[in-house]
Structure 1
Amino acid sequence: MPTPVPPASTPPTGDPSTDITGAELVLRVLRDEGVRHVFGNPGTTELPLIQRLASQRDIQYVLALQEASAVAMADGHARVTGRPAFVNLHAAAGLGNGMGALTNAAAARVPLVVTAGQQDLRHLIHEPVLAGDLTGLARATVKWSHEVSTRTELGTALHQAFRIAQAPPAGPVFLSLPMNLLDEVGPPPPRRTTIRYAAAAPVGDLAKLLNETPRDDIALVFGDELARLAPAEGLALAERLGTPVWGTGWPATNPFPTRHPLWRGYLPTHVPGIREALAPYRLVVIAGAQPFSLYYPYAPGPLLSDRTQVAQITEDPSAPGRDTPVDMALHGQLRPTLRELLDSLPSEGEAGYASQDPSRHGPELPALDLPSLARVLAATLPDGAIVCDEAPQAARHIRAALDLRRANQYQWVAGGLGWAMPAAVGVSLARDRAAVLCTVGDGAAMYCPQALWTAARLELPIGFVVANNREYRVLKDNWRQRDPRPPRHLGMDLDRPAVDFVALSHSMGVPAGRAGSTGELTETLTDGYRTGRPFLVQVDL
């Protein structure tokens, strides 16, 4: 007996050449928006969409074994493409599982369109299993949260979700999709509305200030916004001025080539360190929305010296003045604004680009510690590979060793753990199955290890390197700042029993091994990349 189609709230036109189901409408919108991957973990409320996806070939369904992994995969994908990635979760429980990864995407301002299947609207009054206030659950972590209530509005809501996710400042949005609306027949979606952002901020006053300030008294601070939207213009501005460039202390990505002679690295994440780093400069020019990331411990301000003038260029009108008082705030699109600023500055010789071999930073040691681990990772990294880093204890060494030739080549977790392993999957897919290095601490690796299975299923060329010290070392370091001689560290040791990441990786279908010396690690990484498939290395420190 055929399955009855629920009655439509909007009558179909009766023209079989135009009337389509809601699920088919979703796919048409995805094609209009340039989506080629759907990241998800399915359930019964998503079956209409999953069944429709199964009958076509141009949009790939990327199966994650847990919803946080699905969101993080989409996060990595969107960071590289610069366009919203699409996620489909399962009802209230699946959305709840994905919330931690959603907070990361919100903090890093990553454009995502996240959907979840809602139960049939006609029996929500009976509070069926897994139904709930999905929009309320998502609201704290997204720019816009909406439940589609009629088949008529489905296409409009989907197109609007993509526009809002991409609009400055970018970020995730959420749509609740009731199951019956995906089965319902109705008209096709409306045409896509294209918005072109090209408004430059007025740069005359800033150009005058830059021309009047000695170059040695100027510093540039570049944030994630610049890295994603105007890296070439940022590089040109730094070289035109010949002034040093700093990155934010908790970067989502690298904003500048890391072997450039003007690059000074990343700012500290505490007030005294930021103030000390920028105290020598009379003028600090910020390009981006969140320049001064603060982490731990708290310290009172002011963030910058009273003698320091601050100018900020950003697409986010709410950003200037949030971290520190700003003397000159320019609200506009970064690329056209920086281009106009460059046109207003006198031409000077470029500072030049000096590349170094990161493998030669210091003596080569046979035993593995964090500096030698970082040097081997940098020396074996395939040309153009992107790095997804979630190894907090090793991060500063990795950043110092890497020779990154372009912005947005290094990606860092925005907050909660469990991001890097699934993000590496999304990054590789976004770059047509390109090589990716994923560095992750042993504690972080336990949050979303299911991503290994997806990497194996898709045969993606990802090198997973687990820096294994069998403890939450960063937490111990912070503990010692409060109590230098604790009798014990509660809940911070991972040694009884120790996690066997090699066995875990094998169980997920990813070949794995151990490395205890620089020679072993070099050989393992070189051989692993050569396979063109995923592999894992457990590095015991």
Structure 2
Amino acid sequence: MPVTSEDTGVWGSDIFAEMLRGLGVKYVALNPGSSFRGLHDSLVNKLGNRDPQMLLCLHEEHAVAIAHGYAKVTGEPLAVILHSNVGLMHGSMSIFNAWCDRVPMLVYGATGPVDAALRRPWIDWLHTCRDQGALIRNYVKWDDQPGSMEAALESMLRADVIARTEPTGPTYVSFDVSIQEKKHAEAPALPDFSRFRPPLPAAPSAEGVAQAAALLTQAKRPVVLAGRVSRDPVDWARRVALVEALGAEVLTDIRIGASFPTDHPQHRGKPSFFIDDVSGEVLRQADVILSLDWLDLAGTLKLAGKLEARVIQASLDHQLHNGWGMEHQALPALDLHLACAPDVATHALADALGVGGGDAPADLPVKPAFDAPAEETPLDIMTLAGALGQGLDGICASMVRLPLGWAGESWHFRHPLDFLGYDGGGGIGSGPGMLIGAALALKDSDRLPVAVLGDGDFMMAASAFWTAAHYGTPFLAVVSNNQSFYNDEVHQERVAVERNRPVENKWIGQRIGDPDIDIAAVARAQGCEGIGPVSTAGELVEAVRKGIEMVKAGKSVVIDAHVQPGYNPNMVAGLTRSE
């Protein structure tokens, strides 16, 4: 705990700190910087480093990724503070991930004095931008650089409301260091925070609900694409009840987390990055398709082939599309668009059809779909899943992250917290931070946070694990270590085949070896528990069981699992498909 401070007056940053507390922010993730030295002091010496508590990170990208993982569990924004233009540039990749993943986040920055007469020589000039928000304006919902204390308070309120409003996303407010460090005769009255809340969710029109209900009830082969929906168990239960009442088939997507029980008799195919043959056939036979904010609806329907189905979309995502990025994907052809959040549409349709609330999902032990491999079996991406499931037997776990080559059919998800999805923007290096943020959110729950990370993802952000160890954040991370940037080996093989060149050279510039990296030692160097390397199914089962006991004792645990290079067949087909 910080040393108790005597009252030395009211400073601008004290007011900002009180605003963060009033907004209900529990944590502030940051890497220190002089541009917000005033706010740093206020968080420690004015608020006592509680409500919010500071989370010291060793890189700005990790700070944002931690906020990302936290929001995926809670649906609530965690605050991040980035040092001037340089910290913002460091954190920009993770902000892009959060933007693509549509998660709420409060990002705060700072700039050297806008008034040039107040700048210190050299460093303040380097760290002052005329329009700092321009660096990330294309992938945040809103940004501002207020010029006074009064304007700053309003900006903080507005940023919070906008970040939390569907479709959610990150916002950015940059504070002039001069405003932070100005002394005030007295503190201004803080706003009534209860009067600055997000608007009530927009409801679809009665006409639209009636049309959708009619299409779905008249359909002989309805299909529901369960996409970017909430983690709320109430929404989950109603979604399942609606599907059961319609007799619909359901597809899910491994990029966006658990949205429907995958062991349900009406679930088809497997959650994956690309639809498999079973999913494609389900879509081709459908006469009505209900998309609940499905990620890349047009691309999925294109991959399925010739379709005859009427398509209903429930989504607000169009409100975030702009001309800079293409993360909005291709434009789908729709027969009916309900411009509302997908869960709002689900409840409205269920109400219209007289469907009840359904049964709340239970927190159950993990349910692997693969049999446990023999102990001496060498690990690959498929046998790793079976061995991990055997090691976690009887444990209620949240799978925070799974690697690119994961086989979606290897694991069943039966609760909205059973799996949290991918990173949103494909920015490798986000996995460790997102795991830490999710584990922080799950710390007081009965769930064990688990992640399977790639070795490249781990090494890009290995120092993030220091923050986990420092704050006593328990989790189990298994590094699927194929000693390669294998995704690019797949692409290099395809290019070599097309050009009739040696496929045997695909590993050059991709393999992470000579020397091999001691993943467990890297984890121990950050203060975590490191186990391994292990290379057989039996060794992994033993390591996981040992790791669970360490996690129960409050430790952050990393297991180095050496796996043979390779992906599940559907993943390879999707990555190399040209149409």
Q: TM-score range by the shorter chain?
A: 0.7 to 0.9
Most deviating of 235-244 and 333-342: 333-342
Match of 1:114 among 104, 107, 110: 107
1:538 is paired with a residue of what secondary structure?
strand
1:446 is paired with a residue of what secondary structure?
helix
The question of 1:440 aligning with 2:453 is answered: yes
State whether residues 369 and 410 of structure 2, in contact with CA within 8 Å, keep that contact through their aligned partners in structure 1: no
Code of the residue aligned with 2:384 in structure 1: it is L
Query: 1:250-261, aligned counterparts within 5 Å?
Result: 251-261=255-265
User: Unaligned 5+ residue runs, structure 1?
Assistant: 1-16
1:446: Cα distance to partner?
1.4
Match of 2:127 among 106, 130, 138: 130
State whether residues 315 and 341 of structure 2, in contact with CA within 8 Å, keep that contact through their aligned partners in structure 1: yes
Tell me which residue corresponds to 1:504: 522
The question of 1:191 aligning with 2:204 is answered: no
Most deviating of 364-373 and 222-231: 222-231
CA deviation vs aligned residue, 1:201-257 (integer Å, no higher than 9, x gap): 13111111111112xx11110112355693232222112223221123x62312112
User: Following the alignment from structure 1 to structure 2, what is the Cα–Cα distance between the partners of residues 268 and 432?
Assistant: 29
The question of 1:329 aligning with 2:330 is answered: no
Match of 1:213 among 215, 219, 222: 219
Code of the residue aligned with 1:150 in structure 2: it is S
The question of 1:31 aligning with 2:42 is answered: no
State whether residues 107 and 171 of structure 2, in contact with CA within 8 Å, keep that contact through their aligned partners in structure 1: yes
1:347: Cα distance to partner?
5.6
Tell me which residue corresponds to 1:8: none
Tell me which residue corresponds to 1:517: 536
Tell me which residue corresponds to 2:574: none
1:194: Cα distance to partner?
2.0
1:154: Cα distance to partner?
1.1
State whether residues 198 and 336 of structure 1, in contact with CA within 8 Å, keep that contact through their aligned partners in structure 2: yes
Could you say if the C-alpha distance between residues 274 and 326 of structure 1 is closer, same or farther in structure 2, counting changes exceeding 3 Å?
Answer: farther
User: Following the alignment from structure 1 to structure 2, what is the Cα–Cα distance between the partners of residues 455 and 449?
Assistant: 11
Most deviating of 363-372 and 63-72: 363-372
The question of 1:374 aligning with 2:385 is answered: yes
Could you say if the C-alpha distance between residues 526 and 306 of structure 1 is closer, same or farther in structure 2, counting changes exceeding 3 Å?
Answer: closer
Match of 1:148 among 146, 157, 170: 146
CA deviation vs aligned residue, 1:118-152 (integer Å, no higher than 9, x gap): 11222389661222242111212211121121111
User: Following the alignment from structure 2 to structure 1, what is the Cα–Cα distance between the partners of residues 298 and 336?
Assistant: 20
State whether residues 461 and 529 of structure 1, in contact with CA within 8 Å, keep that contact through their aligned partners in structure 2: no
Could you say if the C-alpha distance between residues 388 and 349 of structure 1 is closer, same or farther in structure 2, counting changes exceeding 3 Å?
Answer: closer
User: Following the alignment from structure 1 to structure 2, what is the Cα–Cα distance between the partners of residues 540 and 124?
Assistant: 58
User: Following the alignment from structure 1 to structure 2, what is the Cα–Cα distance between the partners of residues 268 and 195?
Assistant: 32
Match of 2:416 among 381, 391, 407: 407
Tell me which residue corresponds to 2:229: 225
Could you say if the C-alpha distance between residues 277 and 443 of structure 1 is closer, same or farther in structure 2, counting changes exceeding 3 Å?
Answer: farther
Most deviating of 21-30 and 155-164: 21-30
The question of 1:388 aligning with 2:406 is answered: no
State whether residues 239 and 351 of structure 1, in contact with CA within 8 Å, keep that contact through their aligned partners in structure 2: no
Could you say if the C-alpha distance between residues 163 and 347 of structure 1 is closer, same or farther in structure 2, counting changes exceeding 3 Å?
Answer: closer
Code of the residue aligned with 1:337 in structure 2: it is A
Tell me which residue corresponds to 1:425: 436
User: Following the alignment from structure 2 to structure 1, what is the Cα–Cα distance between the partners of residues 473 and 163?
Assistant: 27
1:102: Cα distance to partner?
0.9
The question of 1:486 aligning with 2:503 is answered: yes
State whether residues 68 and 97 of structure 1, in contact with CA within 8 Å, keep that contact through their aligned partners in structure 2: yes
User: Following the alignment from structure 1 to structure 2, what is the Cα–Cα distance between the partners of residues 379 and 316?
Assistant: 39
1:23 is paired with a residue of what secondary structure?
helix
The question of 1:45 aligning with 2:25 is answered: no
Could you say if the C-alpha distance between residues 528 and 150 of structure 1 is closer, same or farther in structure 2, counting changes exceeding 3 Å?
Answer: same
TM-score when normalising by structure 1: 0.87
State whether residues 166 and 201 of structure 2, in contact with CA within 8 Å, keep that contact through their aligned partners in structure 1: no
Query: 1:169-180, aligned counterparts within 5 Å?
Result: 169-180=167-178
TM-score when normalising by structure 2: 0.82
State whether residues 391 and 439 of structure 1, in contact with CA within 8 Å, keep that contact through their aligned partners in structure 2: yes
State whether residues 107 and 173 of structure 2, in contact with CA within 8 Å, keep that contact through their aligned partners in structure 1: yes
Could you say if the C-alpha distance between residues 499 and 527 of structure 1 is closer, same or farther in structure 2, counting changes exceeding 3 Å?
Answer: same
Tell me which residue corresponds to 1:200: 203
1:182: Cα distance to partner?
1.3
Most deviating of 30-39 and 260-269: 260-269
1:145 is paired with a residue of what secondary structure?
strand
Could you say if the C-alpha distance between residues 88 and 349 of structure 1 is closer, same or farther in structure 2, counting changes exceeding 3 Å?
Answer: closer
State whether residues 113 and 172 of structure 1, in contact with CA within 8 Å, keep that contact through their aligned partners in structure 2: yes
State whether residues 29 and 80 of structure 2, in contact with CA within 8 Å, keep that contact through their aligned partners in structure 1: yes
Most deviating of 341-350 and 142-151: 341-350
User: Following the alignment from structure 2 to structure 1, what is the Cα–Cα distance between the partners of residues 367 and 154?
Assistant: 50
1:27: Cα distance to partner?
2.2
1:340: Cα distance to partner?
2.5
RMSD: 3.0
1:510: Cα distance to partner?
1.0
Could you say if the C-alpha distance between residues 120 and 363 of structure 1 is closer, same or farther in structure 2, counting changes exceeding 3 Å?
Answer: closer
1:349: Cα distance to partner?
13
CA deviation vs aligned residue, 1:101-123 (integer Å, no higher than 9, x gap): 11110110011111112112223
1:384: Cα distance to partner?
3.8
User: Following the alignment from structure 2 to structure 1, what is the Cα–Cα distance between the partners of residues 255 and 273?
Assistant: 11
Most deviating of 252-261 and 442-451: 252-261
1:317: Cα distance to partner?
4.6
State whether residues 255 and 272 of structure 2, in contact with CA within 8 Å, keep that contact through their aligned partners in structure 1: no
Most deviating of 333-342 and 369-378: 333-342
User: Following the alignment from structure 2 to structure 1, what is the Cα–Cα distance between the partners of residues 212 and 96?
Assistant: 35
Tell me which residue corresponds to 2:570: none
Could you say if the C-alpha distance between residues 86 and 304 of structure 1 is closer, same or farther in structure 2, counting changes exceeding 3 Å?
Answer: farther
Tell me which residue corresponds to 1:282: 287
Could you say if the C-alpha distance between residues 346 and 180 of structure 1 is closer, same or farther in structure 2, counting changes exceeding 3 Å?
Answer: closer
**Count of residues paired in the alignment:** 514
Query: 1:45-64, aligned counterparts within 5 Å?
Result: 45-55=35-45, 56=48, 57-64=50-57
User: Unaligned 5+ residue runs, structure 2?
Assistant: 1-6, 322-327, 564-579
State whether residues 255 and 408 of structure 1, in contact with CA within 8 Å, keep that contact through their aligned partners in structure 2: no
1:170 is paired with a residue of what secondary structure?
coil
